[in-house]
Amino acid sequence: MSAIYLAVIGLAAFAIGYFFYSKFIAERIYRLDPDFQTPSHAMEDGVDYVPTNKFVLWGHHFTSVAGAAPIIGPAIAVIWGWAPAFLWVVFGTIFFAGMHDFGAIWASVRNKARSIGALTEDVVGHRARSLFMIVIFLLLLMVNAVFATAIAKLFINFPSSVFPAWSAIAVAVVIGYLIYRKGVGLLWPSIIGVVILYINVYLGDSMPISLSDGTFGLAANAQWILLLFFYAAIASLLPVWLLLQPRDYINGLQLFVGLGLMYCAVIFLSPTVVAPAFNENVPDGTPPLIPLLFVTIACGAVSGFHGLVSSGTTSKQLAKETDARFVGYFGAVGEGALALAAIIATTAGFATLAEWEGLYNKFGGGSLTAFVNGGANIVHGGLGLPLDFSTTLLTVMAILFAGTTMDTGVRLQRYIIQEWGNIYSIPPLTNNYVSTFIAIAACLGLAFGAGGASGAGGLTIWPLFGTTNQLLAGLTLLVVSVMLVKLSRPVWYTLVPLTFLLSMTILALLFQLWEFYAQGKWFLLFLDIVILVAAILVALEAVSAFMREKAKAAQASGPAV
């Protein structure tokens, strides 16, 4: 079957979801009111609250929610075949992610643009707020460990990416200096920066860099992971204008270049999907499709992190309440399109089924390597770019996304640890270096705890990361559902996704609990239990909030005494 069918059917389904389902939700469930005074007007100050054109706001929102995770998740999940991943991405985007992102904006706009964390306290209760912060910390811990493992793996498999990926840091520093310290116009530094990056991608092919096994008694993979965290520690301590901010100018372009290249190449090449629709020969040790599929693909089907973006800043710029449908729902569709591209690359970018099976020889085995190999084959065949160049280009793109997430992730963990130091009066924790050291140590413990001394198996914790992301999405859906109950509106459209997500998350955690116990992975077992407790508490909070609201409604409609 041609991959064009996957692209056309997937994109058409997204379009139908947008034009029909989101319209229904907007009119019947959220009942968006074009005359409702949004916070951007009510509190308009030209600083935080600024009414913004919906197309401009979509551009901002989409580039904030898209990244490496909607590539990694589907790239792992196609081990069960292309059909389950495809169906979950398509239906997840239409009925889960769209509803969730759109709902988070609506809930925030109806509550003076309060963030979703604040809303969990206001709408659900104080305990829910504490749960929210715990879930955020766990998420950051895992995303750093997983992304470090993923990047290390790419460095090992594609040594040509090492030079351009690290040189991008120098490029970003120069851009940062020119833009923020010299006040140079944005156009030339951005264009020259991207051109230099692509020249370096070209040069990377002629200067592959590899680390040899055994240095300091460590495998090459372990050395890369240590180097990456050493870099992340330094990057997270640097002023943000020097490295973090200018990287955005490169990454923003990369996102659209990557998406454009993939879809254009698919159209021109019309590659054949070689992976089976349902893989009946999954490698030993592959977990069951249900429930693991639904936590392996989080971003791309539904992601709790989107709630942070939707309620944090997007809601403060929404000019009309009716714009929430385009910005929120269509933003989710954009990310679904990215996940769809990842599915096509990892299932249609290979000449034979045997070649595909060679990469997917264990759970987590294909992942970004399959995305890069498959995507490069498609770009090479469809657009005529040299294969080596295409390979390095896609590798560097994935590394830049994941690397920037590591920078911010470690920085955020440091802030949270410092905040704990303040709350519990532990002065050493408020120190920049001590808190960074603790954050890095925790991440390293997880990366090596999950993957052994080589760190090579770190991607096995990807589903655990997914469960936490889904818990965060569950909290947002809980807030939206409780609001709907309070307004006496139909609640099934958010309650069903909420129940489904919590059920799959808890089932996945129970399955992994047994696996970790059987394999004697005690650190992961402990982490699983912590997340499981959080998941059960979220479920209890949900039941308690609904009972409370139901009792209130019954009281309100009862006979007057």
Closest distance of CB 555 from another protein, Å: 33
- The residue type found at 423 is I
Among the listed residues 255, 475, 524, 539, the single contact to another protein using CB under 8 A:
255
Closer residue to another protein (CB): 143 or 447: 143
Site string for another protein, 483-522 (x = CB under 8 A): ----------------------------------------
- Residues between 230 and 249 that touch another protein (CB under 8 A): 240-241, 244-245, 247-249
Q: Is 476 in the site for another protein (CB under 8 A)?
A: no
CB nearer to another protein: give 53 or 215.
53
Q: 148 Cβ partners below 8 Å, 6+ apart?
A: 225, 228, 229, 232, 406, 443, 447, 458
**Please, are residues 407 and 244 in contact by the beta-carbon 8 Å criterion?**
yes
> Does residue 24 touch another protein according to CB under 8 A?
no
Residue ranges in 109-128 that form contacts with another protein under rule CB under 8 A: 115-118
Q: CA dihedral defined by 456, 460, 464, 470, rounded to 10 degrees?
A: 110
Residue 276 or 474 having the CB closest to another protein: 474
Q: Least separation, in Å, of the C-beta of 204 and another protein?
A: 21
Which residue lies nearer to another protein by CB, 118 or 434?
A: 118
Within 356-415, the residues that bind another protein by CB under 8 A are 401-402, 404-409, 411-412, 415
Q: How far is the CB of 73 from another protein (least distance, A)?
A: 10
Tell me which of 93, 251, 467, 470 binds another protein, using CB under 8 A. Answer: 251
| SS3 of 519-561 | HCCHHHHHHHHHHHHHHHHHHHHHHHHHHHHHHHHHHHHCCCC
- Nearest approach, Cβ of residue 403 and another protein (Å): 8
Quote the least distance from Cβ 147 to another protein, whole Å: 8
Burial of 559 (0-12, 13-18, 19+ CB in 10 A): exposed
Cα separation, 99 vs 101, whole angstroms: 6
Annotate each residue in 409-448 with x if it binds another protein (CB under 8 A) or - if it does not, as one string.
x-xx--xx-xx--x--------------------------
Rounded to a whole number of angstroms, the minimum distance from the CB of residue 196 to another protein is 18
* Contact call for residues 335 and 129 (beta carbons, < 8 A): no
For residues 93 and 115, which CB has a smaller minimum distance to another protein in the complex? 115
Min. distance of Cβ 99 from another protein in angstroms?
Answer: 18
Strand partners, 2: 272
* Chain CA centroid to CA 52, Å: 25
Residue pair 269/382 in contact by the 8 Å Cβ criterion: yes
What x/- string results for residues 177 through 216 when contact with another protein is judged by CB under 8 A? --xx--xxxxxx----------------------------
With 0-12 / 13-18 / 19 or more C-beta atoms within 10 angstroms meaning exposed / middle / buried, residue 183 is: exposed
Q: Which residue, 321 or 335, is less far from another protein as judged by CB?
A: 335
Tell me the β-bridge partners of 272.
Answer: 2
Q: Are 150 and 367 in contact (CB under 8 A)?
A: yes
Which parts of 276-386 fold into alpha helices (H)? 289-296, 305-309, 315-317, 323-324, 330-348, 353-359, 367-383
Q: How far apart are CA 402 and CA 409, in angstroms?
A: 10
Applying CB under 8 A, which part among 49-57, 384-392, 497-505, 526-534 lies near another protein? 49-57
- Interface with another protein includes 67 (CB under 8 A)? yes
Angstrom distance (rounded) from CA 199 to CA 160: 13
Which residue has 């156009």 as its token pair?
A: 187
Structure tokens at 445: 């413990």
Q: Per rule CB under 8 A, is residue 475 in the interface with another protein?
A: no
x-marked contacts with another protein along 279-308 as a string, rule CB under 8 A: --------------------x---x-xx-x
Of the candidates 149, 373, 469, 476, which one interacts with another protein according to CB under 8 A? 469
Please report whether residue 64 would count as binding another protein according to CB under 8 A: yes
